[in-house]
C-alpha cells in the first residue's frame, strides 16, 4: 500500500523582525515529509526551533519562505478562514499547558472544537461524553479545569484533540507538567491512537519520550541535522 503524505514542508524558512535589529531567523531550509500513519518525534535542545516547528507543522503559522502542504493543500497561500477549517478537521493539538478554557466544564471544552465546525449540539455532546468516558473521566465531565488535577486536565485536552476525529495528533511536550505515571498513560494512549491509524507528531526535548516514536528528526539551530528510524519502540 502506498504511503500517503499528510504534511510536506519544502525549503521552509521562518524569520521574525526585531524592530531595528537584524531579523531573527529561526528555521533555515527545513524539508520534512510526514506520512499517513507515522509516529514521528521532532527533538532538539532549547532554542533549536522546536516551538516554531510546532507552529509550521500544525499550520498555526505560515513560513517566511518556502511551502507547507497539508493534505496536498498549500497552506502558505490560504486565507485564515480556509486554513482554520482545514486545520480543525485534520489536526488535533495537545499542549504542555493544557490550554483549557477555565469558565467551561470538561464537557464544554471538548465540545468546543466541534461547535467551531458546526457539528450539531446533540452529536457534539454525545461525542464529547464518549471521549471523556473512554479516558476515565465519565464522573468528572461537568467539572471545570480548576476542579481537576493536572493529569485529569491533560486527559480532557486529549479528548478535545480527538473531538473532530483528526487524522493527525500534534503533541507538544505533552507530559511536561505531569508526574511520571500520568505521563506514561499519555504516551501509551498516543501509541494506541497511532496503532489505530492516527498520525502522531511528538515535539519534545525528552529522549525518554522519543523512544515511543518510529522516526526521529533532530533539529538544531533551525536546521534538521539528522533523521533516524527508531528501532526500539516501547
The x, y and z cell numbers of residue 148, run together, are 481537576
Q: What is the pLDDT of residue 234?
A: 43
Q: Is residue 20 part of a domain?
A: no
What number of residues does the chain have?
234
Q: Is residue 131 part of a domain?
A: yes
Q: What is the pLDDT of residue 232?
A: 54
Q: What is the pLDDT of residue 233?
A: 45
pTM over 0.75: yes
Q: Is residue 12 part of a domain?
A: no
Q: What is the pLDDT of residue 21?
A: 78
Q: Is residue 56 part of a domain?
A: no
The Cβ-side half-sphere exposure at 109, using a 13 Å CA radius, reads 28
What gap in Å lies between CA 89 and CA 114, rounded to an integer? 9
pLDDT in single tens digits along all 234 residues of the chain: 345 789 999 999 999 987 777 889 999 999 999 999 999 999 998 889 998 999 999 999 999 999 999 988 899 888 888 888 899 999 999 998 899 999 999 999 999 999 999 999 999 999 999 999 999 999 999 999 999 999 999 999 999 999 999 999 999 999 988 889 999 999 999 999 999 999 999 999 888 899 999 999 999 999 999 999 876 544
Q: Is residue 213 part of a domain?
A: yes
Q: Is residue 221 part of a domain?
A: yes
Containing structural domain, residue 162: 40-49+80-229
With a CB cutoff of 8 Å and minimum separation 6, the contacts of 77 are none
Q: Is residue 5 part of a domain?
A: no
> Count of domains in the chain?
1
Residue 137: give its domain's CATH number: 3.40.50.300
Q: Is residue 15 part of a domain?
A: no
Amino acid at each position: 500500500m502506498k504511503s500517503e503524505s499528510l504534511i510536506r514542508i519544502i525549503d521552509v524558512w521562518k524569520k521574525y523582525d526585531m524592530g531595528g535589529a537584524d531579523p531573527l531567523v529561526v528555521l533555515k531550509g527545513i524539508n520534512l515529509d510526514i506520512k499517513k500513519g507515522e509516529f514521528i518525534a521532532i527533538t532538539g535542545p532549547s532554542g533549536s526551533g522546536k516551538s516554531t516547528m510546532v507552529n509550521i507543522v500544525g499550520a498555526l503559522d505560515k513560513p517566511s519562505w518556502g511551502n507547507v502542504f497539508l493534505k496536498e493543500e498549500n497552506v502558505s497561500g490560504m486565507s485564515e478562514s480556509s486554513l482554520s477549517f482545514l486545520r480543525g478537521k485534520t489536526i488535533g493539538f495537545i499542549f504542555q499547558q493544557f490550554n483549557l478554557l477555565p469558565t467551561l466544564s470538561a464537557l464544554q471544552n471538548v465540545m468546543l472544537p466541534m461547535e467551531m465546525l458546526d457539528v450539531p449540539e446533540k452529536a457534539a455532546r454525545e461525542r464529547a461524553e464518549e471521549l471523556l468516558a473512554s479516558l476515565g473521566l465519565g464522573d468528572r465531565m461537568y467539572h471545570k479545569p480548576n476542579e481537576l488535577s493536572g493529569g485529569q486536565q491533560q486527559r480532557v485536552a486529549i479528548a478535545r484533540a480527538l473531538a473532530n476525529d483528526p487524522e493527525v495528533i500534534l503533541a507538544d511536550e505533552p507530559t511536561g507538567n505531569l508526574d511520571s505515571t500520568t505521563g506514561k498513560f499519555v504516551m501509551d494512549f498516543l501509541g494506541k491512537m497511532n496503532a489505530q491509524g492516527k498520525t502522531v507528531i511528538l515535539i519534545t526535548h525528552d529522549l525518554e519520550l522519543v523512544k515511543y516514536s518510529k522516526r526521529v528528526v533532530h533539529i538544531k539551530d533551525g536546521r534538521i541535522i539528522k533523521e533516524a528510524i527508531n528501532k526500539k519502540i516501547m
